[in-house]
Structure 1
Amino acid sequence: MLAGHRVGVVTNPTGVTADARHLVDVLHADDRVDLVAVFGPEHGFRGTAQAGGSEGRHQDPATGLTVYDTYGVSGRALADLFTAARVEVLLFDIQDVGARFYTYIWTLYDVMRAAALAGTAVVVLDRPNPVGGRSAAGPVLDRAYASFVGREPIALAHGMTAAELARLFNGEFLAAAPARLHTVRMAGWRREAFFRETGLPWVPPSPNMPTPETALAYAGTCLFEGTNLSEGRGTATPFEVVGAPGADRRWAEAAAALDLPGVWLREAYFTPTFSKHAGKACGGVRLLVHDPAAFDPVRTGIGLLVTARRSWSGFAWRADRWIDRLTGSDRVRTLVDAGAGVAEVAADWTAGLARFAAVREKYLLYP
């Protein structure tokens, strides 16, 4: 696929081989590959930037290659970067975590769109969905709420790999001008497998995704980005703890009483070192996932929102309605505000999820 072509790589620290060598270093050392450029997503090629940041354009000191910053760049502007670098084949190799609002899948989408404009081929090197891929879960995006945390109508927990998503993007959303797409399948991955079962090294795909266990909780607890509570950034267990100054054991007791499958919800206290409530003691809830196969992160996240809203008078949504971008519409927010329970909120997305599941089935690569 690469021989005789000028190659660019879209990647970050997760683009490693099974023995933890970085793809860029491997390709740069291979005389058969004409590697000409690297393209970094949110957090940057080397992963040094926090949420909402990147590393800017620079020269990689290890290889001398120009690293282009793709964060916030799309359409013709991104195509122009590919043209300026004279790239003929783009390799995409980034570890995703299975949630619609994790931005790397939309970097892939933007790359595919721009590659079609630039006449550049795209090769997706597939990686496991670390939280498994048995099914999709949660609300499907309403296009009226599209943003970089959700460009197109897919489920919040999509249950797909990067290569499967690329196929879906091409077939459903980019059909008028599809990318020249090639996918490189994994060998041996099973849809029911969680990351710890793969034997692969875990490289944090972003600064607040330190372990595969973080990824398990993320699709649910990242919803707290849309509130005035901390989602655990600035702690040793981001997305596994949520809370705020003034919240107390009553919230944890209410959450635990939901008896949600696969997870224990217990009282917790923490002091973030940065991000929301930095330097302030927070009370809240700690998630301990004891049965990943039974655990539903989206329902758990909704359960935590519902009980926080009911049990803590200080609860508030972010003024910019970021929760609507994260959930994909205003439905979760308005239902929670109206006093709906977990089952009622989840019932609201059932029909849309069923439609997405039928579309999703056409693009799956693994049994």
Structure 2
Amino acid sequence: MKFVKNLSKFKGCKAGILTNQSAFGYKNRYHFDVYREFVDLKKIFLPEHGLFAELQDQVSGSELSYIFGEADIINLYGDTEESLVPSPEILRDLDIVILDIRDVGSRYYTFLTTAYYILEAISKLNKISAPICIIVDSPNPIGEKVEGSPLQEKFESFVGVRSVVHRHGLTPAGLLNYYNKQFNLNVEIAVIPVGVYHPEKFNSRMWVPPSPNIPTQNTCLVYPGQCLLEGTNLSEGRGTTKPFETFGAPFLKGKAKEELDKRLAKHQTAQITLRNLRFLPTFHKHKNVICEGYQLMVEKPKKFHSLYFTLYLLKNISELFPNEFEFLKGVYEFRSDRPAIELLAGDSFLLGYLDGKCKEEELVEYLLHAEKAWTLRTKEFQY
């Protein structure tokens, strides 16, 4: 791996890019447009949600079409699980593959999993015909703070690469270089550092939603925990203006809700404020049904632990609403062999906690140990 200042040394190279609207900022332009001034753009690889984040989660992009000269559009989120992984043959005639796409700091977020699958495909090519991978780095919107435990291999899926913790604390280049070394891919990688095409720091007034339900930078703060709600019958706020910050369900009412309020009022009280509310999702879970719930308002981001909050929330809701609350079954991100909560939690110990098999202090100690181990393990990938 080496650092390069820009793409000028690759001028005229046959290139493919993985990108979407989140790669915006250089001279107030989309980067996929800028790159055409440097390289011979042959292929544009589309992640989940499409080039302009037009599509909701788990919606195939196979019907999307765009025109970029003679460049081919290759959708990497289609109708089958096989569509997620590019064929090495698609990459063989390229000199470089540019990976320029923003992450939100959590392992569930699928853009860097798609980038990882591209690295894997490149690794299967003969070194002579394998393209160089250029990673245009960008800041981690929630910084270097780490949360969670390594995903166990049996739970690996599109929403979780093995060995990675829930909130990884790395930039895109950091995580992708970790994959390259950890899994012995041996792909030739060059990194364009933060600040060349992306601004040095995120300006919340210039935030470009990388996908429909990450509308603000604040959403990224709660997402490492709140994404677990996707595996339950609680609304994670899709269909509202504050997804993942707003959450609840129609059945959260009565004395059990009062007890839940009391328990949550004692949890991370110095870091957050929970605002009781009612909301009406316009789509997704509980569409057009009034939900009782909360808005999660983070007051001290550096101390707030989103994953712990959501694990605590789910455990207590399952205790207080045993007949109404449930973990969802069925297809989730092309997988039907495991419930979504298993793919998202990714750890037998955490799943055991949700089942009441360990105490609060045991969970806290377990997470603290796992987070320290990940920080040490990935120190060389902090850019």
Under a length normalisation based on structure 2, what TM-score does the superposition of the two structures give?
0.85
For structure 1, which runs of at least 5 residues remain unmatched after alignment?
Answer: none
Say which SS state the counterpart of residue 53 (structure 2) adopts.
coil
Q: Do structure 1's residue 203 and structure 2's residue 208 form an aligned pair? A: yes
Q: Do structure 1's residue 273 and structure 2's residue 282 form an aligned pair? A: yes
- Counterpart residue identity of residue 101, structure 1: Y
CA contact (8 A) 2:267 2:309 kept: no
Say which SS state the counterpart of residue 117 (structure 2) adopts.
helix
CA contact (8 A) 2:86 2:117 kept: no
- Counterpart residue identity of residue 124, structure 1: I
How many pairs were matched up? Answer: 352
For structure 2, which runs of at least 5 residues remain unmatched after alignment?
Answer: 1-8, 330-337
The aligned counterpart of 2:334 is none
Q: Among residues 72, 97, 103, which one is paired with 2:104 in the alignment?
A: 97
The aligned counterpart of 1:128 is 139
Q: Do structure 1's residue 321 and structure 2's residue 321 form an aligned pair? A: no
Say which SS state the counterpart of residue 157 (structure 1) adopts.
coil
Say which SS state the counterpart of residue 24 (structure 1) adopts.
helix
The aligned counterpart of 1:357 is 375
Q: Do structure 1's residue 27 and structure 2's residue 35 form an aligned pair? A: yes
CA contact (8 A) 1:57 1:68 kept: no
- Counterpart residue identity of residue 96, structure 2: V
The aligned counterpart of 1:348 is 366
State how far apart, in whole Å, the 2-side matches of 1:22 and 1:194 are. 18
The aligned counterpart of 1:300 is 309
CA, structure 1 residues 277+126, in 2 after alignment: closer, same or farther (shift >3 Å)?
same
State how far apart, in whole Å, the 1-side matches of 2:359 and 2:202 are. 31
CA contact (8 A) 1:89 1:123 kept: yes
CA, structure 1 residues 194+159, in 2 after alignment: closer, same or farther (shift >3 Å)?
farther
CA, structure 1 residues 97+75, in 2 after alignment: closer, same or farther (shift >3 Å)?
closer
Residues 142-157 of structure 1 aligned to structure 2 (within 5 Å): 142-157=152-167
Residues 322-341 of structure 1 aligned to structure 2 (within 5 Å): 322-338=340-356, 340-341=358-359
Q: What do the CA deviations read for 1:326-351 (whole angstroms, capped 9, x no partner)?
A: 11123222222226454432323443
CA contact (8 A) 1:131 1:194 kept: no
Tell me the CA shift for residue 34 of structure 1. 1.1
Tell me the CA shift for residue 74 of structure 1. 7.1
Tell me the CA shift for residue 61 of structure 1. 2.8
Aligned-residue identity in percent: 30
CA contact (8 A) 1:214 1:240 kept: yes
CA, structure 1 residues 78+323, in 2 after alignment: closer, same or farther (shift >3 Å)?
same
The aligned counterpart of 2:148 is 138
State how far apart, in whole Å, the 2-side matches of 1:227 and 1:194 are. 35
The aligned counterpart of 2:46 is 40
Q: What do the CA deviations read for 1:15-35 (whole angstroms, capped 9, x no partner)?
A: 11244311111222x2x4211
State how far apart, in whole Å, the 2-side matches of 1:347 and 1:269 are. 35
C-alpha RMSD of the superposition: 2.3
The aligned counterpart of 2:335 is none
Q: What do the CA deviations read for 1:245-274 (whole angstroms, capped 9, x no partner)?
A: 110342333212224442111212111111
Q: What do the CA deviations read for 1:297-341 (whole angstroms, capped 9, x no partner)?
A: 112222222332233342222235211111112322222222645
- Counterpart residue identity of residue 26, structure 1: V
CA contact (8 A) 1:58 1:66 kept: no
State how far apart, in whole Å, the 1-side matches of 2:97 and 2:63 are. 18
CA contact (8 A) 2:84 2:114 kept: no
